[in-house]
Amino acid sequence: MNSILQKAESFVLSSLNENLKSAFVYHTFYHTQFVVSKINEIIQEENLSDDEIEIVLLSGWFHDIGYTVDKAKHEDHSIAIAKEFLTKEGFDENKIQQIVACINATKLNETPATLLQKILCDADFAHLAGKNYDKLSRQLKEEFENIGCGTYTDTEWMKENIAVFKQHKYYTKFAILNWNIPKNENLISIKKALKKATKKTKQKAISENRSERSIDTLFRVTLKNHLTLSDIADTKANILLSVNAIIISMALSNLIPKFDNPTNHFLIYPTIIFVLFSVVSMVLSVLATRPSVTSGKFTKEDVANKKVNLLFFGNFHKMKLSEFEAALNVVMNDKDYLYASMTKDLYFLGKVLDRKYKILRWTYSIFMIGIITSVIAFAISYNLLNQ
């Protein structure tokens, strides 16, 4: 290796080691060294002069050093650094211009014109045919994320890779003969991986859809059962209310008028007990079916903080339609909020049922105790009368 190439290698190594940001995990000195090694492979099969070999190797060493300055227009920065270094070393101006042209040819959408430019471009993309392409691809993906060039899912990244493979082509005879086949094999592997990932994504989507349907069914069935239980509770309360109303009506119309007769005074206390228990049962029946009153209003902060349940009319019946529609759109577009609202609706409906059935249990118990107590009272009063 001649002196200028040794100096260039040392300069590039030192510059990348000291100035390249840690975010660059692909365009490191390893990549530059890899490109130079691939240039050496190609030039073994090409009939190049010593000057041409020197030019293309120097181009390889400097082609990505611009990343030490900025990722944007890094080729231009690489050219500027190369020109400054080579000029200080007293390198031939004509050769410098050829190096500039080679580096410039590595830009996207540029087509290499000369053999030296083609050699550098082929070496720069030699990794497409590499056995460790998958590893290098992951490094490049990580670098893109680190430097703000885009965040990709694995599926999106594979699609981007396939697009690059389809657009890219090798120019030198050596690359065409030796790298096209492994490059195509890598492309096939990516396509297989993409197909597998796509299938897995579809299966996951189907599974999630089934899971969502299961959740929807769970809420639907549970809410229906709760509403049915609520209807049963209301029906039981209405039955008790009707029965006790009939009892009180009969007591008022048939028993109380008989109190004027002294022989019927024994009916007073049993009747009072009977009516009293019936009144208490009626009151409890009314309490079991009496609805709770809510404010019927909510604020934007309540919606933003997911504190209001818009599935219950009591929380919005005093709101304007436009405000309710805007809030409901927020709920519909937020699956977590929607399920949280359904969960709250189910929970508080359960609390209402708990209250209803507790009162109903007390109502039935009091009604039963009242019947038994009244019958005993009638029996005792009648027995005392006959003694």
Mean pLDDT of 101-114: 91
Residue 205 lies in a domain: no
Highest mean pLDDT among 186-200, 202-216, 279-293: 186-200
Could you tell me if 127 and 224 lie in one domain?
Answer: no
- Containing domain of residue 290, as a range? 210-386
Mean pLDDT of 278-301: 77
Dist CA 253 CA 383 (whole Å): 25
User: Is 347's pLDDT higher than 90?
Assistant: no
pLDDT of 320: 80
Mean pLDDT of 221-231: 83
Q: Which residue has the tokens 């009151």?
A: 283
Could you tell me if 219 and 145 lie in one domain?
Answer: no
Q: Are 366 and 273 a contacting pair, CB within 8 Å? A: no
Could you tell me if 240 and 381 lie in one domain?
Answer: yes
Could you tell me if 226 and 157 lie in one domain?
Answer: no
Residue 201 lies in a domain: no
The one-letter code for the residue type at 64 is D
Domain final residue, candidates 168, 199, 232: 168
In the chain, the percentage of residues whose pLDDT exceeds 90 is: 43
> Between these two residues, 144 and 218, which has the higher pLDDT value?
144
pLDDT of 263: 58
Question: What would the pLDDT profile of 9-61 be if each residue is shown by its tens digit?
Answer: 999 999 999 999 999 999 999 999 999 999 999 999 988 999 999 999 999 99
Could you tell me if 75 and 139 lie in one domain?
Answer: yes
Residue 175 lies in a domain: no
User: Is 77's pLDDT higher than 90?
Assistant: yes
Mutual orientation of helices 29-43 and 115-124 as an angle, nearest 10°? 130
The one-letter code for the residue type at 283 is V
Question: What would the pLDDT profile of 171-201 be if each residue is shown by its tens digit?
Answer: 999 999 999 999 999 999 999 998 988 887 7
Poorest-pLDDT segment among 184-198, 255-269, 349-363 = 255-269
pLDDT of 313: 67
Mean pLDDT of 274-289: 84
Dihedral over alpha carbons 193, 198, 199, 200 (to 10 degrees): 90
Residue 94 lies in a domain: yes
Could you tell me if 233 and 374 lie in one domain?
Answer: yes
pLDDT of 135: 92
Coil/strand/helix, residue 319: coil
Q: Are 61 and 5 a contacting pair, CB within 8 Å? A: yes
pLDDT of 267: 67
pLDDT of 1: 46
- Which residues have CB under 8 Å from 294's CB, separation 6+? 314, 315
pLDDT of 329: 81
Task: Identify the band that residue 262 occupies on the pLDDT scale cut at 50, 70 and 90.
Answer: low
Residue 117 lies in a domain: yes
Residue 202 lies in a domain: no
Residue 174 lies in a domain: no
User: Is 296's pLDDT higher than 70?
Assistant: no
Could you tell me if 30 and 134 lie in one domain?
Answer: yes
Mean pLDDT of 111-132: 94
Mean pLDDT of 337-357: 82
**First-to-last CA distance in the chain?**
138
Mean pLDDT of 66-95: 92
User: Is 210's pLDDT higher than 70?
Assistant: no
Dist CA 243 CA 281 (whole Å): 10
> Between these two residues, 204 and 187, which has the higher pLDDT value?
187
Could you tell me if 163 and 221 lie in one domain?
Answer: no
Dist CA 342 CA 212 (whole Å): 13
pLDDT of 157: 92
Dist CA 221 CA 198 (whole Å): 34
Poorest-pLDDT segment among 112-121, 185-194, 204-213, 219-228 = 204-213
- Which residues have CB under 8 Å from 98's CB, separation 6+? 55, 114, 116
Domain final residue, candidates 107, 138, 168: 168
Could you tell me if 154 and 291 lie in one domain?
Answer: no
Coil/strand/helix, residue 202: helix
Mean pLDDT of 199-204: 77
pLDDT of 311: 67
Could you tell me if 154 and 234 lie in one domain?
Answer: no
Q: Are 371 and 379 a contacting pair, CB within 8 Å? A: no
User: Is 209's pLDDT higher than 70?
Assistant: no
Mean per-residue pLDDT over the chain, rounded: 85
Structure tokens, 37: 């090694």
Residue 188 lies in a domain: no
Poorest-pLDDT segment among 120-134, 165-179, 213-227, 296-310 = 296-310
Could you tell me if 134 and 271 lie in one domain?
Answer: no
Domain final residue, candidates 110, 139, 168: 168
Report how many domains make up the chain: 2
At 16, which CATH number? 1.10.3210.10
This model's pTM is above 0.85: no
Could you tell me if 228 and 164 lie in one domain?
Answer: no
